[in-house]
Structure 1
Amino acid sequence: METVQRVVLLPEEPIGQVSPYIHGQFSEHLGDCIYPGTFVGTESPLPHTRGIRQDVLEALRPLEIPVLRWPGGCFADNYHWRDGIGPREQRPTRVNTYWGMAEESNAFGTHEFLDFSRQLGAEPYFAGNVGSAAPSELRDWVEYCNFAGNSALAAERRSNGAAEPFKVQFWGIGNENWSCGGNMSPEEYAAAFARYRTYVFNYPGSEVQAIACGPNSRDFAWTRRFFDTMKNHHTSCRLKQVQGFAAHYYCGTTGSSTEYTDSQWLELLARGYAIDGIVSGHRSIMDEFDPNRRVKLIVDEWGTWHPSGPGGTSLEGFHGIYMQQNTLRDACVAALTLDVFNNHADILYMANIAQLINVLQSLLLVEDDKCIKTPTYHVFDLYKPHRHGQAIRLISQAETISHGEASEEHCRSCYTDQRTLDLQAVHGSATIKDGVLCMTVVNTHPTQPVELDVELRQANWSELEIVTLTADDIHACNTFAEPERVQLSAPRRSSDGGKHTRIQLPAASIIRVMGTLHA
């Protein structure tokens, strides 16, 4: 039975401009993300450009990925960049101690990653090694990449084929230093950050944005203690060293990535939507120490994380570590998250979903000579028009349909405010750019279609275009046998508009509505 749910759009209440960097991606040396997901080598019979898979490049280019983070993740704090430069046949083979003790050939290193980024048109974002390397190692990496003058490191870069500096802007000073990056306390990490940051120089024409390791999920104490230490526990305030502060948030359930009940569907969406409280909670603490918001808030790892192994994944013939299938349910989590990011356009600068290919909530799945787009890929495609738009307030008056009830009690108790798990039947966001209003909305209910009543305050819109992402089954996913089961609909034109609009939302669906805005 179809229900009527209502949202109100308020163009007169702007939030902020949507940073394109919130559509960032993340690529780590984990499982099959890099080999063979990205890099097959120059001797491969597969079509490639300098060893990078051609099918991957062609699939990703339409998304115009704004920023790509590498090499980790936990891998970053055990990665020594010199292993990945120079002739590939001379690069040392290492053990990937964090991810399955796998062999790491270092065939994909600094030059290959920057080549990949530039072929995609993405800004590179490096995660530096603080956990197991000296400050001099990070200092040298920055000089190698960014110095245009005469030095031994710049000469070495030129001898390795890059005459001009790479001008890498984004540098993470460590990763998850509360855990795999050294098991530090916030105070210990603040001291390490200040020390390492001292030697990360801005070379002429290459200014660095240094990004500090932020909290895990709802660890608000990490944020407070780090900022307090940086601001108040030294002879001078050290916050001027920090340009970005990066939180992580993963959501998941205890069951399979492809087999779940309606209740588990709602549980995961509620957990996904809880990122709203995480973003606003950490920013409010940052504001106490940095009221002018000079330090940018970043969420450089986010997404769904389902159990791996038997029952946790379901891609035929594929057994890569942390590989998980990606269904319509994951797509709805991605859409809810991107709507949250739009609604926090005034406080969020960058975000990077984990991960790009084959691992966790990936955009692509590859195997042998096959490459397919996941439902999450199509969400990023659907949401592209929001980039650079002015986010406006959207009020959902839809009923609450879940409080995350399927979560076990000990999991639900992790949320300091139970309301952060409240899930409404409809969530969304809206932006205005070049006179066009773009609204995206998720019908979170797994079985119930919705008639959406949209009220537009103090304006009208017309010439509506509607695109939908849904499927005939809430468990639907794209496989190598059925690569297009979940995909965007063809655009549908509508003459409806004005101040009130009725739009049909199928159960478990995501829609984008765009229309010309006028008085």
Structure 2
Amino acid sequence: MKKIILSILTGCFTLTLSAQTKITLNTDLAKTKINKHIYGHFAEHLGRCIYGGMYVGEGNTKIPNTAGVRNDVIQALKELKVPNLRWPGGCFADAYQWKDGIGPKDKRPKMVNMWWGGVTEDNSFGTHDFLDLCERIGAEPYLAGNVGSGTVKDLSDWVSYVNHPGGSPMAELRKQNGRQNPWNVKLWGVGNEAWGCGGNMTAEYYSNIYRQYATFMSDSKDAKLYKIASGASDGQYDWTETLMKNIPHHMMDGVALHHYSVLSWKETKGPAVGFTETQYFKTMDEAWKMDEFIKGHSTIMDKYDPQKKIALIVDEWGGWYDVEQGTNPGFLYQQNTMRDAVIAGLTLNIFNNHAERVRGANLAQIVNVLQAVILTNEEKMLLTPTYHVMKMYNVHQDAMLVPMNIESPNYEFNGKKLTAVSSSASKDASGNLNISLTNIDYTKSHEVTINLRGEDFSKVSGKILASSKIDDHNSFEQPNKIAIKDFSGVKFEKGVLKLTIPAFSVIVLNLSK
């Protein structure tokens, strides 16, 4: 297809138009629900995620807090509509002894975080603190159980402690520690990355371990457990096949998948700010691989579970770069730019479009770690570009996926090609149509034509996240440099939408009847 190149200066960014993206939506054929848990988050005891990030201590008079958790963080997470929050890890989960994090805080034993920086933690943020936080922000807790270094009894006791209504030793212990009613935690990870930091197990061995631990994780009257097996990394298809073959399906509700958009695990991951287009293209290539991996693992799961009763849970994903200069390498603190916004938009579109099998996911991580939605520095707090994309996209939570046909030109660099524009669409309970669009192209804007079939809509509005440079970001000096803005550049006539999406930007359109 011959490309038409045209540069138009539009204030804060330059549009360079290329070949047209064509989308057809069948709005009356929506049958699959986009599970809200796709929009989950992840809080590990890693760097300044918990201590100094979310949790500043109950005696802190400098930073407004509720039971030690920052009020500004609580409010931001409420507005984000976080459906679930995974804790305490990550690798940390398989070293964590939950009983050390309950009872009087001044009597809790300390521990060394062997995975992340070797720092000593005082266990002042524990089970009660986390589960109470989830209640405050309206999120379901997702507890990752210790299978790597903990015993079957440890995990069984934890389930009883948080879920048993009364009469069991653990329920009575919970009441002694100030919580009368159970939290009724449903989401449970049975270990984490068992192939690596969770024990360096083989898939066959872990399958047996899973069966053993899951057997002693009991449902309670108001909490039927949703058990998630420690799944593969990237394209470890043999791992998924072994789990699906060896674990009885009535014992398993989900299989995890981890994939990060990282340049290299062995060499430099590249900077979070000041990266080259070569580094950017590679990051986008890794982000697009999420689609490939989901398809690959889903094909294996379909072989053993054609009715799709078992979910694929992508409970770790996001961009991973070198830490910011001068920070602890074990704290994984990185800045968050428009590149991260594009990763988020692209990845969420992929999840939405695989909603039949993908029914949960967790962005890594929520505060001050990796692709965080919030950054803090003492009293200061800011929302990152990723936060804004997650907020724009929350219209898809529990909405019905609208089937689409999309033809997009490529983003080309050094002889390689990636699909430039991704999209997903849904209908909410009120019948409104939501269309999300992400353009990963480094330099070119793209004209988009959307044909609506099946239903008529009369009104359209939109939001956009865009900036003049790909590594633009919010800082504590300029916390609102990148923010969601109204988007009015869409023409709507006779069931056809026409718009131009700028380079490295994200748009969400909302249509009503």
Q: What SS does the aligned partner of 2:457 have?
A: strand
Q: 1:319 to 1:226 in 2, by over 3 A?
A: closer
Equivalent position of 2:11 in the other structure: none
Q: Are 2:301 and 1:306 aligned? A: no
Q: Are 2:275 and 1:260 aligned? A: yes
Equivalent position of 1:352 in the other structure: 362
Are the equivalent residues in 2 in contact too, given 1:26–1:352 (CA < 8 A)? yes
- 1:358-407, Cα deviation, whole Å (9 max, x unpaired): 0000000001000000000000111011112111122221112248978x
Residue pairs, 1:312-323, within 5 angstroms: 313=324, 321-323=331-333
Q: Which runs of 5+ in 2 are unaligned?
A: 1-5, 7-16, 264-268
Paired with 1:275 and 1:423, the residues of 2 have a C-alpha distance of 13
Paired with 1:72 and 1:247, the residues of 2 have a C-alpha distance of 14
Equivalent position of 2:214 in the other structure: 197
Are the equivalent residues in 1 in contact too, given 2:117–2:330 (CA < 8 A)? no
Equivalent position of 1:368 in the other structure: 378
Structure 1 residue 423: deviation in Å? 2.1
Structure 1 residue 30: deviation in Å? 0.3
Q: Are 2:407 and 1:397 aligned? A: yes
User: 54, 57, 64: which one pairs with 1:41?
Assistant: 57
Equivalent position of 1:409 in the other structure: none
Paired with 1:261 and 1:122, the residues of 2 have a C-alpha distance of 38
Equivalent position of 1:331 in the other structure: 341
RMSD: 1.8
- 1:408-436, Cα deviation, whole Å (9 max, x unpaired): xxxxxxxxxxxxxx521211111112221
Q: Are 2:132 and 1:105 aligned? A: no
Structure 1 residue 226: deviation in Å? 1.7
Farther off after superposition, 216-225 or 484-493: 484-493
Residue pairs, 1:79-158, within 5 angstroms: 79-158=96-175
Are the equivalent residues in 1 in contact too, given 2:117–2:329 (CA < 8 A)? no
Structure 1 residue 458: deviation in Å? 3.7
Aligned positions, number: 490
Q: 1:155 to 1:391 in 2, by over 3 A?
A: same
Q: 1:324 to 1:271 in 2, by over 3 A?
A: same
Q: 1:496 to 1:437 in 2, by over 3 A?
A: same
Letter paired with 1:47: P
Q: Are 2:453 and 1:457 aligned? A: yes
Paired with 1:391 and 1:205, the residues of 2 have a C-alpha distance of 30
Farther off after superposition, 119-128 or 422-431: 422-431
Letter paired with 2:169: A
Equivalent position of 2:297 in the other structure: 282
Q: What SS does the aligned partner of 1:274 have?
A: helix
Q: What SS does the aligned partner of 1:14 have?
A: coil
Percent identical pairs in the alignment equals 37
User: 474, 478, 488: which one pairs with 1:492?
Assistant: 488
Residue pairs, 1:51-62, within 5 angstroms: 51-62=68-79
Q: Are 2:439 and 1:429 aligned? A: no
- 1:492-514, Cα deviation, whole Å (9 max, x unpaired): 38662432221121221110111
Residue pairs, 1:413-424, within 5 angstroms: 423-424=418-419
Paired with 2:305 and 2:184, the residues of 1 have a C-alpha distance of 28
Structure 1 residue 338: deviation in Å? 0.4
Q: What SS does the aligned partner of 2:170 have?
A: helix
Equivalent position of 2:183 in the other structure: 166
Q: 1:145 to 1:451 in 2, by over 3 A?
A: same
Structure 1 residue 447: deviation in Å? 1.5
Q: 1:404 to 1:39 in 2, by over 3 A?
A: farther
Farther off after superposition, 487-496 or 148-157: 487-496
Equivalent position of 1:504 in the other structure: 500
Paired with 2:366 and 2:100, the residues of 1 have a C-alpha distance of 23
Letter paired with 1:336: L
Q: What SS does the aligned partner of 1:485 have?
A: coil
Q: What SS does the aligned partner of 2:402 have?
A: strand
Paired with 2:422 and 2:260, the residues of 1 have a C-alpha distance of 20
User: 293, 308, 315: which one pairs with 1:293?
Assistant: 308
Farther off after superposition, 501-510 or 358-367: 501-510
Are the equivalent residues in 2 in contact too, given 1:466–1:511 (CA < 8 A)? yes
Equivalent position of 1:77 in the other structure: 94
Structure 1 residue 15: deviation in Å? 5.5
Paired with 2:486 and 2:159, the residues of 1 have a C-alpha distance of 46
Paired with 2:342 and 2:490, the residues of 1 have a C-alpha distance of 24
Are the equivalent residues in 2 in contact too, given 1:8–1:394 (CA < 8 A)? yes
Q: What SS does the aligned partner of 2:331 have?
A: coil
Q: What SS does the aligned partner of 2:486 have?
A: coil
Equivalent position of 1:466 in the other structure: 462
Letter paired with 2:364: A
Q: What SS does the aligned partner of 2:351 have?
A: helix
Q: What SS does the aligned partner of 2:359 have?
A: strand
Q: 1:227 to 1:495 in 2, by over 3 A?
A: closer
User: 391, 394, 408: which one pairs with 1:384?
Assistant: 394
Letter paired with 2:52: P
- 1:296-320, Cα deviation, whole Å (9 max, x unpaired): 2110011111122xxxx26x98987
Equivalent position of 2:48 in the other structure: 32
User: 472, 479, 483: which one pairs with 1:476?
Assistant: 472
Q: What SS does the aligned partner of 2:316 have?
A: strand
Q: 1:497 to 1:384 in 2, by over 3 A?
A: farther
Are the equivalent residues in 2 in contact too, given 1:270–1:403 (CA < 8 A)? no
Paired with 2:415 and 2:381, the residues of 1 have a C-alpha distance of 37
TM-score by length of 2: 0.92
Structure 1 residue 121: deviation in Å? 0.4
Paired with 2:192 and 2:415, the residues of 1 have a C-alpha distance of 32
Q: Which runs of 5+ in 1 are unaligned?
A: 231-237, 407-421
